[in-house]
Structures are given as structure tokens and as C-alpha cells.
Structure 1
């Protein structure tokens, strides 16, 4: 029975699991950020050492039998960063077992497809579309940052909402519930005060991106402007998905698309619009949310590298055992 380690490394936190191919989790370890482009090298090494030691302390017998690991890491998109991370993992494991490193889109995809090909659409603060076909070819579309091209993201729709409110205030645009909701959100009295409220914040990008729930709330209350913004977001995401689909899967009619990210996972209107757009063009795309968390997706990637596939009971075992372990029990 192969034991593997799955690591999900991000800009705010890192999580690792130790499990077998049936999905049974034996240990869970968490630590701080591990994005190599944002964290100093020594801090990065300490963080990764912390998560591996945590797994070893919780499940020493299983840790001794680990065959491989996979780390899906934010910031690992270039060869230099991947090489740096691989060197750190090699030193920490003393080369006893390999830990493969790649971008975090892979483990996010596998968290939904369980190791099979497909398309991943991330739409949170930012947006990026990633895909992997059966030949092992991968592609990405979008995700070029909020200053260049981040259409369909929480940030992008929030900017559109602010613009709509300003235009409504001037009389250049339609009246919208977004005005009332944003005034309440910032505890101000007039629309122009939005400018100072945002520009004087510590991180205007984060503040703006956090406004996407306001757009969703206005849309739920049948606000025409908010609904139009979300419809455009669905069209933007559909274009990215279709562009990537053609690159990797040609004219295939059926495709699994995993949707993840705070914005898309809390926006049933955007999801339903996406489905309708593809159905209208004759595509039978299967839109799903992830079935396990990204660290579990990384573990599946590790199994993949060992030419193993997760067993049919993987998902149910994963959820049952990870809850037990995280609550402090024994899996």
C-alpha cells in the first residue's frame, strides 16, 4: 500500500496530508505562507520543514513508508522557483523519497477530477483557466494580474460595480442598488467618499476585491446593473474556458470543468449562466466544484506519479478520516 504526501502551498497558508490510495488520512499538518516569490528563502525552508515534521510526529510509522509527495505551490510557475523548492524538499527528506513540485492549479484540478484530465476555472480575487489533457499537455488562459487582464474575477466585477455607482451618481448610468449597498458597506454618506475610503486603505486591491459579495447581494435582489455585471463575468469566463478547451481538447463536446474560488463558488447566477452559454452552443460540459481540498488533490498527483490511481472509496474515506485527524483523533 503506497503512502504519499500532498502539499498545498499558498500565499497565506500551507497544508499537507499523509494518506494512502484509499483516501485514508493519517496526518494533517498546517503552517504559514510558502509562496517562493513572496517568502524569504530561510522562512520558506522553515515552513516546509514544519509541515513535514508535523506529519512525521503524527504518523511516524506511515511516514517511514512514504513513497512520494507532490507539492502544488503558488508562485511555482517558473523553472527557477520550482528548482529552488525541489532542492529544499530534497534536503528536508534527505532524498529518501521524491517530492514533485508544480503550480497549485494542478492539485486544484485533481481535487475535482481525482487525477483525470479536465479544465479548472479559478475565479476568486483573481481568475485563471488551466487545463490538462490525457496526453499530459497543459495550457493556461488568463490570470495575468489585475493590472493587465483579470476578467471574470472578483476584483474585476467589483471594479465594474464601483464604476457603475460613479456613473449612476453622475447621471451617466442607470440607478442601481449597488449605490446604497456600497455606502452602507463603507459607512459613508455620499458616493464621492468612496474614493478616499478605498485609496486610503492599506491595500486597495484587497478592499476592492472584497466587494464582490455586494454585487452578488444586489443581483439576488434583482438589481439590473448588478445582474448585467455578473452576466458579463459569465461571458468572460466562458470565453476563457472555450479558448483553453479548443487548445487542449479540440472539438470534443463533453468536458469536465472544475469551478473553484470564493467568487464563483458563491455565485449560483454566474454558474447557471455558464451552463446555459455552453448548452446554447451544443456543448455538454459537466461543471463541478472540488470534491476534496487541494492538499488531497496534491496527494492524488503524487499517486499519479507512482502510476497509481485513487480507489473508488477515496473521497468518502478522505472526508471521514481527515475530520477525525483534524479534530485530534486517530484515523
Structure 2
């Protein structure tokens, strides 16, 4: 029986499980649907967690026993849903989890590990939402990540909502002309702004529908649209403020910074220099934003090391070699 470590990245759009040997070698990847417990019924979350893990394990073959299972989820609040998630995992994966030590954490923990492994630094996730987190000398600080209804500046939902607000404000005369109107009508297959608004409010997935409009905001900004650039500058200021606040709370002005998440990576060419410039202005120094080193599913497997788990001597070195994110 081969003992393995399984790391799971449970996101708002998909769940990814990585089966890793005790020496740190990535053996298999399995995927399934989303597993954000704050946005989905817990039975759906459990089903997708179980499916992703099974998909990965079956690729490895028979004779596998999961010694450590580390799950890092978007929307996870410490302690909430623990018993339900553990229970469903044991029911669905009982044959593989005999004696397994199970760890449940928020996705920002795996994001941090994916950039800094076990080291210090500040990380920001700019995806559908946003979240910022730092570690320094055993201290931790988190900023943002309070959800799309009241927070999440820098995330696709917030950017999309600001963009759609500019569309209707331009249409009724409160703003000048903007290319966002044309892009919105095309994206939502609407012939009028009134039809556009109806499509948004009656969408099956309103959050996703609004978040998808962030693409138009970045596209218009690249084309020099004044309103789109104003939105992006405002989002940039909020992202830089969040990162600077984490650094200030940790009292570590030279901490390295890394950003990740689909919204950021899809627009890195435009957004990275803007954020570096604004954060540098706030910090009074030159800032160079780093990148994600390894997949977040693999990074989730690092979290148990902080709780005293011990794997192979060169676990981290081999993990970086086999789980590296391709540029």
C-alpha cells in the first residue's frame, strides 16, 4: 500500500485535487465542479470534492492510501461546515481515507503557499472576488475577501458591476460616451440598454453574468476608453491599498508581494505595471510583483507542514519541480 498526500484547491469555478508522493512528486490531477461552501449547497460541495479526489486517485491506480488530505476552499470560514465535509468525505472515500489526517482551510492559505511555499510574503487573489493575506515571522494579517455584495474590489464581479454602471449612466446622460455600451450590448446579445438590464437581472447566475463583463472593461481600457480607464485606476488603487495595509499591519515594509487569480493573470500585461506603480507610491519604494510558483492544489499539501506533518526530506524541492505553474 502506497501512502500519498492529497492537496485540493476548491474554487468558485472548479475543484482540483493533486495526488503527491511523500517525496514530493506530483502523481496525478483530478478535477470536478466548484466547491465554494458559501455559495453552493453543502451536498454539491461534497460531491465535487469527492469526485475530484477520486478522479485523481484512480489515475494513480490501486494500492493507494491517503495519509494526509489537505483541502483549501474558497468561501470557507474556519470551523463552519467541518463536520458535514468530513462526514461526506469519509462516506465517499472511506476505502482510501483509513486513518487519514484531514485539514480544511481557506483558499488564501494555499494561494500564499503557491507563491512563497513556507516562507513569508503577501499574496493577493484577484479572481471573481478578491482576497489579500500576509505572513511574517509567525504573524498573519488578512484584508478584504468579505464577499461580492459588500467588498471584493479588484475582483471581476466588482469590475464588471462598475463597468455596467458606467453603461447605464452613459446611456441616461450622467456620463459621456463610452465604448462599454457597445461591448455590453454585444456580450449580452441585447439590442437596447433596457433589454441588457433585463437580461442581467433575470440571469440564472447573476454574479457570474456581471463578473463576465470585466473582460469588456479591460478591453476598453486597452483601447484608451476614458471611463474604462477610470474604473481600472480606481480598482488599482483599492488593490494597492489592500496590499499596503497587509504590509503595514505586519510591520514589514520590505515583504515580497505576489498576485494571482484569473482576472489578474488574464490581464497581467496591462494591470501589473499599474498595481506596481500605485503600491510603490504608497510604500515609498520600488515594488516588483511576483508570480505563483506551483499549482494551488499542490500548494494545499504544504499547509499540514505548519501543523507538524513531516514528508520526505526534499519534499518542497521536488514539489516545485513537478507542480510548477507554466508561464
Superposition TM-score tier, normalisation by shorter sequence:
0.7 to 0.9
Structure 1 residues 242 and 303, CA gap change in structure 2 (3 angstroms)? same
- State the distance in 1 between where 2:107 and 2:228 align: 31
Number of the residue aligned with 2:211: 209
- State the distance in 1 between where 2:27 and 2:40 align: 29
Number of the residue aligned with 2:178: 176
User: Which deviates more from structure 2 when the two are superposed, residues 116-125 or residues 181-190?
Assistant: 181-190
- State the distance in 1 between where 2:90 and 2:190 align: 54
- State the distance in 2 between where 1:294 and 1:130 align: 15
Number of the residue aligned with 2:257: 257
* Unaligned segments of structure 2, at least 5 residues: none
Report the secondary structure of 2:276's partner residue.
helix
Contact 1:253–1:283 at 8 Å: present in 2 too?
no
Choose between structure 1 and 2 for higher RCO, CA contacts under 8 A separated by at least 6 residues: 1
- 1:6 equivalenced with 2:11 (yes/no): no
Report the secondary structure of 2:115's partner residue.
helix
RMSD: 3.0
* Unaligned segments of structure 1, at least 5 residues: 323-331
Number of the residue aligned with 1:158: 160
Report the secondary structure of 1:255's partner residue.
coil
Structure 1 residues 253 and 224, CA gap change in structure 2 (3 angstroms)? same
Match of 1:316 among 310, 313, 321: 321
Give me the TM-score of the superposition, normalised by structure 1. Answer: 0.83
- State the distance in 2 between where 1:33 and 1:277 align: 33
Map 1:96-111 to 2 at 5 A. 96-111=99-114
Map 1:143-292 to 2 at 5 A. 143-247=145-249, 249-250=250-251, 252-267=252-267, 268-280=269-281, 281-292=283-294
Structure 1 residues 62 and 139, CA gap change in structure 2 (3 angstroms)? farther
Number of the residue aligned with 1:70: 70
Report the secondary structure of 1:155's partner residue.
helix
Deviation readout 1:6-57 (Å, 9 max, x if unpaired): 1122344322112236542122233344444555555555544444444444
Number of the residue aligned with 2:81: 81
- C-alpha displacement of 1:234: 0.4
- C-alpha displacement of 1:215: 0.6
Structure 1 residues 132 and 196, CA gap change in structure 2 (3 angstroms)? same
Give me the TM-score of the superposition, normalised by structure 2. Answer: 0.84
- State the distance in 2 between where 1:37 and 1:139 align: 22
Aligned pair count? 317
